[in-house]
Amino acid sequence: MSTGKRLAKRSILGTRVACMSEDGKYYPSIICNVKQMDEGKGPTVYTVRVEGEHRRRDVRESDLVGSGFVNVNSVKLRSGQKVYITHNQREIHGAVLYHRPNIDEVLISIINPE
């Protein structure tokens, strides 16, 4: 039996993104819900669960970094922001010391895991 409606091939729910928090830093998050304000005419609001937190937050599309959202190259990272990089063929984490987007330079402090 067909309903006439096409189902979406991919759902955005469960997508991993980085979400801007109140402190201006980005944290790993997962999209839990999508809301369209004002009957489809207003901005889209996403409900995300930030890793390490037990609550959910509603955020605007412009506060999300990831595939289909704001590109990581167009955001300014804050000092102390946790980031993941590839170093010696291994993914490790570090903290941003400073970010100069005008010259495309980020200084990161890393701790050698060995």
Q: What is the pTM of this model?
A: 0.74
Phi then psi for residue 50, to 5 deg, are -80, 130
Q: What is the pLDDT of residue 1?
A: 47
Nearest CA to 78 out of 28, 17, 23, 18 is that of 23
Q: Which uninterrupted H or E stretch holds 50?
A: strand 44-50
Instruction: Give per-residue pLDDT as tens, 50-76.
Output: 988 888 999 999 899 988 899 888 889
Q: What is the pLDDT of residue 5?
A: 54
How far, in Å, CA of 70 to CA of 75, rounded?
A: 8
Position of tokens 């959910």?
56
Asked whether the predicted pLDDT for residue 87 surpasses 90, the reply is no
Least trusted range by pLDDT, from 3-12, 28-37, 54-63, 105-114:
3-12
Q: What is the pLDDT of residue 113?
A: 63
Q: What would the mean pLDDT of 10-17 be, rounded to a whole number?
A: 87
Q: What would the mean pLDDT of 100-109 be, rounded to a whole number?
A: 91
How far, in Å, CA of 66 to CA of 74, rounded?
A: 11
Q: What is the pLDDT of residue 74?
A: 87
Report whether 87 contacts 110 (CB < 8 A).
yes
Taking the CA atoms of residue 100, residue 71, residue 34 and residue 32 in that order, the dihedral angle to the nearest 10 degrees is -70
Nearest CA to 37 out of 46, 48, 49, 28 is that of 46
6: confidence class by pLDDT, cuts 50, 70, 90: low
